[in-house]
Amino acid sequence: MSDLSSERQQRRAARRAERERASSGRAQPRPAQPEAATAKRRSFFVMDAWAELKKVEWPGQSQVIQGTVVVLVACIVVGVYLYANDQVWKEVVQKLLLGQ
């Protein structure tokens, strides 16, 4: 019986000490993580990313070609618009503002 009560008292004292340390307001330094845990987490991330990449619905060749053509046509249209706008404003600036 006395062994049981002394063991209980030791556990209580340990819990009391833990509470006092936690309430002292000082941040306890975190123990350094072993490299194995970091590598394991990184490995988990890679496996998780790979699983997500498997879920992606990748475009077919025709969709890629169609998307590329749309982007190129849009670039050409915007380029022509900007060139024409630049030419018009160049004339306005030269004649009205610079008086040439």
Radius of gyration from C-alpha coordinates of the chain: 35
Separation of alpha carbons 10 and 12, rounded Å: 5
Separation of alpha carbons 36 and 69, rounded Å: 48
Instruction: Please give the average per-residue pLDDT across 45-60, as a whole number.
Output: 91
Q: Is 17 helix (H, G, I), strand (E, B) or coil?
A: helix
pLDDT grade for 88, boundaries at 50, 70 and 90: very high
Domain ranges of the chain: 60-100
Prediction pTM value: 0.46
**Class of residue 49 by CB neighbours under 10 A (exposed 0-12, middle 13-18, buried 19+):** exposed
